[in-house]
Amino acid sequence: MAAIDAAEAVILKYFHEQDFIVEKKVDDSPVTIADKTAEKIIKEHIHKAFPDHGFFGEEEGEESKNAEFVWSIDPIDGTKNFIRGLPFFSTELALLHEGRVVLGISNAPMVQARLHAIRGEGAFANNTPITVSQIDQISNAYISHGGIKHFANMHKLVQLTAASQKAHAIRGFGDSWSFQQVAQGRLDAMIEAKVRLWDIAAHVIIITEAGGKITDISGNEVNFETKTTLATNGLIHQELLDLLC
C-alpha cells in the first residue's frame, strides 16, 4: 500500500491546486504531470521490493512484460474527470502472475474508496468485506456504461439501447467509479466499449472476489488485448452478453 499512498499524495496535490498543463497523447487522450509522476512513483516503490517484476503501465509503457510477475498500472483512471475537478478518478494497480490477476487495488481518494482483493481471500472496501448485488433479472437491474461514441464506433449502439430498454435504469458514467459500485452491490452491471488492461485489471479480481463476473462484451476472459468490458454481479451476465453480442 506504500506505493498507492505515495502516489495518492502527489495526485491530490495537483488535483487541489489545478495548476498543470494538459498534454495530448498519440491516441488523443489527455495526460498530466500528475499521471506521469504518480506512475513513476509506483514503479519505483515496486521495483525496489521486486526488481525482477515487469510492468504494463499507461504512461511509461511496457517493461519486462513477459516476466512471471507483471504489474498493471493506471496512475489516474479518469484523467478527464481529474482535469475538470470531478472527484471520480482512481489509481488502478494489479499484479498478474503468468497472465492471471492475483491482486488488485482501486484507490479513489476523493470519494474515500480504496478497494482491494487478493485471489482467494475476498474483496474489501476500506478493509470492510464487500459483495455484489443479488439482482437476477435485467428488468430490475441498475446498469452503467462508458462513452456513447465508443459504442457507436463499434456499431454497438443498437445493442446498448436494447439493454437500456430492458433494464430498470441505465446511466452513463465510465471509468473506475462504476466498476467500484458493481463490486459493492450498488450497481448490477457496468459496460465499457473502450478499455485497456490497465483500466480494468484491478477490477477483474475485485469484482470476481466480491462474487461477480467480468469478461469482454463477447464473453471472453480479460487479457492484455482486451478492448471492451462487461462487469456484472454474475446473475445477469449471460443475459447481457446475449443482448450485446
Digit-coded pLDDT (tens) for 70-99: 999 999 999 999 999 999 999 999 999 999
Q: What percent of the chain has pLDDT over 90?
A: 88
219-230: average pLDDT:
93
Contact 32, 45 (CB under 8 A): no
Query: pLDDT tens digits, residue range 114-128?
Result: 999 999 999 999 999
User: What is the amino acid identity at position 6?
Assistant: A
> Is residue 157 very low, low, confident or very high in pLDDT (cuts 50, 70, 90)?
very high
Q: Which three cell numbers stand for residue 102?
A: 492475483
State phi, psi for 65 to the nearest 5 degrees.
Answer: -60, -20
Please compute the mean of the pLDDT values over residues 129-149 and round it to a whole number: 96
Alpha-helical runs (H) found in the chain: 2-17, 33-49, 79-83, 148-153, 157-166, 176-183, 197-209, 237-244
Grid cell digits, residue 220:
471472453
Domains and CATH numbers, the chain: 2-129 (3.30.540.10), 138-244 (3.40.190.80)
243: left (phi over 0), alpha (psi -120 to 50) or beta: alpha
Residue 1 has pLDDT above 80, yes or no: no
Residue 17 has pLDDT above 80, yes or no: yes
pLDDT, position 245: 86
Mean pLDDT of all residues belonging to the chain: 94
Residue by residue, DSSP assigns 29-62 as -EE-HHHHHHHHHHHHHHHHH-TT-EEEETTTEE
pTM flag (> 0.85): yes
pLDDT (mean) for 178-203 = 96
